[in-house]
């Protein structure tokens, strides 16, 4: 941390700086000692310095700030009256700096000047300096018209009695994250907005209930921000979209250059790119970090998909790493994956894969329960058994727990309704797949299925009207296991291919293997399969994840079971949309000639959209005279 | 048409107006004869009128303009110096008006004033009127400093020697549309942009090649616009997106209030809503019209899905109706379906249904050709036979023609590549389905399939690597026919449901039956099925098109065949993604309990997203303590 003590002549910069140096045990430097020889010569001859004289001097100071920072902290006394001077000193604000402006009434300053005997400074100079001083909105301002000892005590209090970071938004995720961080020996300020009758004193009540934790609650945003050490680290855990923009507009007004805003919400990646630019106008840093793990992960270790400037990320990575889940090798499931917005994009694809994984399990449950004469306990046992095999996954684990759960002696699964909702990340994933032109059939089927499930009135009428005969049958458990396994591999292949293609589109250079690694623990789609894919995806030269040699070997073995399962399920009038779309994708993907030849011919017939001959030496983009 | 002859005192309004009235055989009115009694009193007393005196007078004139228009045309002489006065006269510009400004050098005006003996007008008044005159960008301006007879001849030439309408964009569609319109006894100006080396004198060459048609070519946009009768009717047949915005910005500068721009391109409906507002700033009208029918329809009769103000539409409907295809009752396949943007939205859904219909035929071809041992001729014959049955459709008809087409003795279908492209309407349709939360599985599968077909390198590698065994088998032709029929009904049901739900969302009050009617001819998805659906969709009380009694009856009969087809196809390793997704949708839609119950439980388990009990008297939106 660099403490810049600044102000007009006679404001007490040197004496305050020196005493502060003693108190904080941090070396002190006087900016005047760093003038280039040309300036010293001018000053000796009584020629006042102009702005172009000051520029090289400020640049020398900046270089020194960089090396002082490497050794730890430093205090620098410097007039730094104009924003343009301070701007050179702070540069890109990647070095944490605390600005301390000393202010006094002009009468005091004049008295001080008169008492100085060693060198005469004209009172006109003071007047001109006061005129020149541009007081910024950021930093600390103190009235230096008090006793020195008292003044420095006040400054020490202001710069040190502050919390390491702040969390905005005390929903389930925000609360759990705050507890998690505070157990890692960080002091945390927490803030929640006040909404009369709905959200009142939320942060206060939460801190009260958790007195053993190092939490300091606020319901005023400026006070919350004031409680944080510089550069401030503000974690947002609020609803994405408009609420996020609203809070950023407020933060823009009270944060200082160099402060860091970390958006942990499920934001749309394009929004994150825009927000980063918005905050950069005031040199406030922005990091977009996708988080997966639900409330449990937030409390006990989640997966963090970060993005943003790597130097800025370094300033918060000690916190992120401590609250992450750990992979099999004990490394934290967090990573800075690329430039602005990338983290939230990767989170979108995480959730897109999650949609497919959830639906696949749900389909297997449905098939077993309503078509294969298996009761809930039996199904739960199958899932438990699978969870000890290569099929092991968090979602499978919780589904068996769900199947075991009873309310008043009745399985909860038979009590709750079947309207599956969605919060938008699946939709974003599919829109990305559309905009990049990458097929993601398992996602589209999952999403369409959720929409259908919400059409409760129409569905009721349809089941009453059509009275479709849901038949019973038998399918070998091994077949089901292999079919489910095949569909999962295809779903993962499509998800990682979307990452791969989008990475090429935007030149992100995503490390797919590293993404798989941070998805092996903490997040919702963690599984044994994901662990295997770290290795599979480490080969950067593959064209498509489903073309990797070990995936090919696996799918060749599994696909016949997927076909068999579906062929039987159809006969039972059992709909398995995502298993089905995974098979259809696979069979089309591996087929050397597709029916789309007819579609191209139709398009040329009615719309003259053009044809290409297969033989590349022949005509391209021609219209046939039909 | 109302001709407003206006200008300062002594500019010759009355004499020009009277002679013009003789020449055009249109009654003449002098605005001064319409003053309310309060104004007449003031003027008699020599008190000059102020703006609040003029307001009631201008409103009386407007009322008269409305009744004159009902009787045909009229000429009105009126000073109308300020834009605010003219604004009252033109009101919303739904009455066609031609503004004729008489301008003369001040010396001429002064001389004329002096020669007037009947009533003295002070030269100061003239000076003040010249200062007051606000010369607009729109309308005709003539120098009245010439002999009266000559001047009126010039005006007659300017207002009458013009074409009925103009077409911008001489691509295939624009050319064919222009020919079509010109054969219906309209005179057509045609315009194409100049792009050196790429698009040079396109309109000119086209008119030259079609001298028997009433086409007048231009390569200058202002001259093109100048050639049109007022209010000008400008049809855009250019690429959607940026090119459309670009031309509208140009048109905004040269068109007059009351002119009409008709966008016939495949524009996104939200863009059309925005563009309508953009042009309305200058009281230029905008109509967004979706057109289907390809180049053949454009030439011989297409389907027009119009939208925009009904009075404005009335001004162009005589043209649209004459270039439309006719339905079974001889009524034109065109309709104004609602407010701004609706026409382009309906066209998007038309194309979305088209995606499914094309893919379904392609899948049947593929199954027959590669898995059922049928050669191309045999398949074509089946399609021809079906086309004489209830399955009859334009797409089936052209597909059999495609299958019959040979190049150098080889079926064209075996020569061209299988990469199916898309131009965006399918993507828009799916994005709408996502944004409105309406499942459209047949569209999503069709679109994903097109994306997959474009992944040529990966597909080549996949077919080489996996070497899937494409098996041969037998399926009864009747089964295939019924299965295809079922999938089509479901695809139509999903498409019309998207229209239905979006109509509710935006309160458009779409008439689905009327939409089906204008889709029975001219457009790409015209079919016998569509004809039947006019009646089916006329019942406005249904919840979902697939719940209509006759559709239920039909699907109950057909669905077992769809299931059988798919069950066998899967065994043959034949992928039929859209048939498959139609069946899966249907079976889920008609199932009273869906596997999504598991998804909701999982969402609450890991994310506390909330559950509802099925029993509505019990808890809603609660979190279970898992």
Give the integer Cα–Cα distance in Å for A324 and A347.
15
> Looking at A435-444, A559-568, B133-142, which range is the least confident one?
B133-142
B99 and B186 both lie in a single domain: no
- List CB contacts (< 8 A) between A573 and chain B: 563, 587
Q: CA Rg, chain A, in Å?
A: 32
Q: Which two tokens stand for residue B299?
A: 């030439």
Please state, for a pLDDT cut of 90, what percent of chain B lies above it: 80
Does residue A93 come out as left (phi exceeding 0), alpha (psi in the -120 to 50 range) or beta?
left
Q: Quick one: closest CA in B to A173, which residue?
A: B607
Given a cut of 70, whether residue B229 has pLDDT beyond it is yes
Q: What is the pLDDT of residue B112?
A: 86
> Which of B124, B159, B194 represents a domain boundary (last residue)?
B159
Q: What's B543's DSSP letter?
A: S
Q: What is the pLDDT of residue A117?
A: 64
Q: Indicate the pLDDT class of residue A128, thresholds 50, 70 and 90.
A: confident
- Whether residue B354 lies in the annotated active site: yes
- The alpha carbon of residue A522 is apart from the nearest alpha carbon of chain B, in Å, by 11
Average pLDDT over residues B27-46: 91
> Which of A97, A132, A159 represents a domain boundary (last residue)?
A159
Neighbours of B2 (CB within 10 A): 21
Q: Which residues contact A587 (CB under 8 A, 6 or more apart)?
A: B468, B573, B574, B575
Q: Would you call A440 and B448 a contact, using CB atoms and an 8 Å cutoff?
A: yes
A187 and A175 both lie in a single domain: yes
Q: For A314-351, b where at least 16 C-beta lie within 10 A, e where not — what string?
A: ebbbebbbbbbbebeeeebbbbbbbbbbbbbbbbbbbb
A394 and A354 both lie in a single domain: yes
**How far is residue A563 from each of residues A391, A569, B359, B569, B581, measured CA to CA in Å?**
19, 10, 22, 10, 15
Catalytic residue selected from B354, B363, B481, B554: B354
Residue-wise pLDDT tens digits, A572-596: 999 999 999 999 999 999 999 999 9
Which stretches of B346-479 are assigned E, i.e. beta strand? 406-407, 410-411
Point out the residue among A398, A559, A609 whose CB comes nearest to the CB of B606: A398
- The alpha carbon of residue A625 is apart from the nearest alpha carbon of chain B, in Å, by 10
Q: At how many degrees (to 10) do helices A577-589 and A342-371 cross?
A: 110
> Looking at A19-33, A117-131, A188-202, A272-286, which range is the least confident one?
A117-131
The domain spanning residue A581 has which CATH number?
Answer: 1.10.1040.10
- List CB contacts (< 8 A) between A500 and chain B: none
Q: Would you call B581 and A581 a contact, using CB atoms and an 8 Å cutoff?
A: yes
* Entry pTM: 0.83
Q: Indicate the pLDDT class of residue A513, thresholds 50, 70 and 90.
A: very high
Please state, for a pLDDT cut of 70, what percent of chain B lies above it: 99
Q: What is the pLDDT of residue A397?
A: 98
Query: Chain-wide mean pLDDT for chain B?
Result: 93
Point out the residue among B370, B573, B607 whose CB comes nearest to the CB of A563: B573
Q: ω before A231 within 30° of 0 (cis)? A: yes
Residue-wise pLDDT tens digits, A284-323: 999 999 999 999 999 999 999 999 999 999 999 999 999 9
Give the integer Cα–Cα distance in Å for B5 and A161.
81
| Residue of A502, A448, A479 lying closest to A560 (CA atoms) | A479
Given a cut of 90, whether residue B242 has pLDDT beyond it is yes
A182 and A303 both lie in a single domain: yes
**How far is residue A175 from each of residues A137, A219, A431, measured CA to CA in Å?**
31, 15, 31
Given a cut of 80, whether residue A182 has pLDDT beyond it is yes
A247 and A293 both lie in a single domain: yes
Q: Indicate the pLDDT class of residue A121, thresholds 50, 70 and 90.
A: low
DSSP H stretches of helix in A572-595: 577-589
**First CA to last CA across chain A, in angstroms?**
76
Which stretches of A88-164 are assigned E, i.e. beta strand? 97-103, 140-143
Q: Which two tokens stand for residue A509?
A: 């250079």
Residue-wise pLDDT tens digits, A46-95: 788 899 999 999 999 999 999 998 888 899 999 999 999 999 998 877 77
* Partner residues linked to A217 by β-bridges: A190
Q: Which two tokens stand for residue B615?
A: 């029993």
Q: Would you call A419 and B600 a contact, using CB atoms and an 8 Å cutoff?
A: yes
Query: Chain-wide mean pLDDT for chain A?
Result: 93
Name the residues of A annotated as catalytic.
347, 354
A133 and A236 both lie in a single domain: no
Q: Would you call B453 and A596 a contact, using CB atoms and an 8 Å cutoff?
A: yes
Q: Provide the 3-class DSSP secondary structure of residue B136.
A: coil
Look up the domain containing B113 and give its range: 2-159
The domain spanning residue A223 has which CATH number?
Answer: 3.40.50.720
Given a cut of 80, whether residue A159 has pLDDT beyond it is no
The answer to whether the CB of B577 falls within 8 A of the CB of B449 is: yes
- The alpha carbon of residue A296 is apart from the nearest alpha carbon of chain B, in Å, by 7
DSSP H stretches of helix in A183-220: 202-209
B315 and B283 both lie in a single domain: yes
> Looking at A120-124, A530-534, A564-568, which range is the least confident one?
A120-124
CA dihedral sign, ordered A601, A602, A603, A606: positive
Given a cut of 70, whether residue B61 has pLDDT beyond it is yes
Q: What's A105's DSSP letter?
A: -
- The alpha carbon of residue A566 is apart from the nearest alpha carbon of chain B, in Å, by 7
A105 and A179 both lie in a single domain: no
Q: What is the pLDDT of residue B161?
A: 53
Quote the distance between the C-alpha of residue A157 and its chain's center.
33
Q: ω before A134 within 30° of 0 (cis)? A: no
A337 phi, psi to nearest 5 deg:
-90, -10
- Number of domains observed in the structure of chain B: 4
On whether ipTM exceeds 0.85, the answer is no
Residue-wise pLDDT tens digits, B484-522: 999 999 999 999 999 999 999 999 999 999 999 999 999
Given a cut of 60, whether residue A161 has pLDDT beyond it is no
Q: Quick one: closest CA in B to A577, which residue?
A: B584
Q: Which two tokens stand for residue B529?
A: 């099925």
Q: Would you call B462 and A544 a contact, using CB atoms and an 8 Å cutoff?
A: yes
B85 and B187 both lie in a single domain: no
Residue-wise pLDDT tens digits, B454-470: 999 999 999 999 999 99
The domain spanning residue A52 has which CATH number?
Answer: 3.40.50.300
The answer to whether the CB of B582 falls within 8 A of the CB of B562 is: yes
A307 phi, psi to nearest 5 deg:
-160, 155
Q: Which residues contact B377 (CB under 8 A, 6 or more apart)?
A: B403, B404
Given a cut of 70, whether residue A45 has pLDDT beyond it is yes
Residue with tokens 């606020």, as numbered in its chain:
A218
Give the integer Cα–Cα distance in Å for A566 and B573.
11
Q: What is the pLDDT of residue B414?
A: 96
Q: Would you call B417 and A612 a contact, using CB atoms and an 8 Å cutoff?
A: yes
> Which of A143, A159, A175 represents a domain boundary (last residue)?
A159
Q: Would you call B585 and A577 a contact, using CB atoms and an 8 Å cutoff?
A: yes
**How far is residue A445 from each of residues A196, A266, A451, B104, B441, measured CA to CA in Å?**
42, 22, 10, 72, 7
Give the integer Cα–Cα distance in Å for A331 and B493.
52
Q: Indicate the pLDDT class of residue A141, thresholds 50, 70 and 90.
A: confident
The better pLDDT of the pair B97, A77 is held by A77
A327 and A373 both lie in a single domain: no
**How far is residue A591 from each of residues A254, A587, B573, measured CA to CA in Å?**
59, 6, 10
- List CB contacts (< 8 A) between B470 and chain A: 591
Average pLDDT over residues B279-308: 95
Q: Which residues contact A156 (CB under 8 A, 6 or more apart)?
A: A20, A23, A24
The better pLDDT of the pair B438, B214 is held by B438
Q: Indicate the pLDDT class of residue B226, thresholds 50, 70 and 90.
A: confident
B121 and B102 both lie in a single domain: yes
A190 phi, psi to nearest 5 deg:
-125, 145
Q: Which residues contact A124 (CB under 8 A, 6 or more apart)?
A: none
Q: Which strands sit side by side in the sheet containing A28-30, from one edge to the other?
A: A28-30, A74-77, A2-6, A97-103, A140-143
**First CA to last CA across chain B, in angstroms?**
76
Q: What is the pLDDT of residue A119?
A: 61
- List CB contacts (< 8 A) between B434 and chain A: 427, 430-431, 447
Which burial class, exposed, middle or buried, applies to B335 when counting CB atoms under 10 A from its CB (0-12, 13-18, 19+)? Answer: buried
A341 and A366 both lie in a single domain: no
Q: What is the pLDDT of residue A540?
A: 74
- List CB contacts (< 8 A) between B581 and chain A: 445, 577, 580-581, 584
Q: Would you call A606 and B398 a contact, using CB atoms and an 8 Å cutoff?
A: yes
């Amino acid at each position: 941390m660099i403490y810049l003590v600044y102000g007009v002549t006679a404001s007490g910069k040197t004496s305050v700086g020196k005493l502060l140096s003693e108190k904080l045990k941090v070396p002190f430097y006087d900016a005047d000692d760093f003038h280039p020889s040309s300036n010293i010569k001018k000053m000796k001859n009584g020629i006042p310095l102009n702005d172009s004289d000051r520029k090289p001097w400020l640049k020398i100071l900046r270089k020194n700030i960089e090396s002082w920072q490497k050794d730890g902290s430093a205090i620098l006394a410097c007039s730094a009256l104009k924003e343009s001077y301070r701007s050179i000193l702070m540069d890109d604000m990647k070095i944490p700096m605390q600005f301390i402006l000393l202010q006094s009434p002009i009468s005091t300053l004049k008295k001080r000047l008169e008492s100085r005997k060693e060198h005469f400074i004209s009172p006109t100079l003071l007047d001109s300096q006061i005129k020149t001083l541009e007081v910024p909105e950021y930093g600390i301002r103190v009235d230096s018209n008090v006793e020195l000892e008292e003044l420095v005590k006040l400054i020490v209090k202001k710069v040190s009695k502050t919390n390491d970071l702040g969390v905005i938004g005390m929903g389930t995720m925000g609360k759990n994250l705050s507890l998690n961080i505070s157990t890692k020996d960080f002091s945390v300020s927490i803030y929640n907005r006040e909404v009369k009758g709905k959200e009142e004193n939320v942060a206060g009540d939460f801190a009260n209930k958790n007195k053993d934790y190092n939490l300091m609650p606020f319901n005023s945003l400026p006070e919350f921000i004031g409680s944080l050490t510089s550069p401030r680290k503000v974690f947002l855990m609020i609803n994405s979209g408009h609420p996020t923009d609203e809070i950023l507009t407020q933060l823009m007004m009270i944060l200082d250059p160099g402060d860091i805003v970390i958006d942990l919400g499920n934001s749309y990646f394009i929004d994150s790119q825009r927000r980063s630019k918005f905050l950069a106008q005031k040199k406030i840093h922005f990091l977009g970090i996708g988080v997966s793990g639900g409330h449990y992960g937030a409390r006990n270790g989640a997966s963090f998909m970060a993005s943003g400037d790597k130097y800025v990320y370094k300033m918060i990575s000690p916190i992120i790493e401590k609250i992450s889940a750990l992979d099999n090798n004990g490394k934290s499931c967090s990573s800075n994956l690329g430039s602005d917005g990338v983290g939230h994009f990767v989170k979108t694809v995480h959730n897109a894969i999650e949609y497919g994984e959830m639906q696949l399990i749900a389909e297997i449950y449905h098939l077993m329960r309503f078509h294969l004469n298996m009761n809930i306990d039996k199904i739960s046992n199958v899932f438990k058994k699978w969870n000890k095999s290569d099929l092991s996954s968090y979602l499978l684990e919780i589904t068996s727990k769900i199947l075991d759960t009873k309310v008043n002696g009745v399985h909860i699964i038979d009590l709750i309704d079947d309207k599956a909702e969605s919060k938008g990340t699946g939709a974003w994933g599919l829109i990305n797949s559309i905009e990049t032109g990458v097929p993601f059939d398992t996602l589209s089927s999952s999403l369409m299925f959720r929409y259908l499930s919400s059409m409760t009135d129409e569905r009721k009428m349809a089941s009453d009207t059509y009275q479709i005969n849901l038949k019973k049958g038998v399918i070998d458990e091994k077949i089901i296991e292999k079919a489910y396994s095949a569909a999962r591999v295809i779903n993962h292949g499509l998800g990682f291919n979307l990452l791969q293609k989008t990475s090429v589109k935007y030149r992100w250079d995503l490390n797919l293997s590293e993404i798989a690694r941070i998805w092996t623990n903490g997040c919702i789609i963690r599984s044994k399969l994901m662990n295997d894919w770290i290795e599979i995806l480490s080969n950067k030269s593959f064209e498509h994840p489903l073309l990797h040699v070990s995936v090919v070997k696996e799918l060749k073995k599994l696909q016949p079971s997927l076909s068999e399962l579906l062929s039987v399920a159809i006969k039972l009038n059992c709909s398995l949309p995502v298993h089905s779309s995974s098979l259809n994708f696979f069979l089309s993907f591996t087929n050397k000639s597709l029916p789309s030849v007819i579609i191209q011919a139709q398009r040329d017939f009615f719309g003259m959209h053009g044809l290409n001959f297969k033989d590349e030496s022949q005509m391209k983009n021609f219209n046939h005279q039909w």
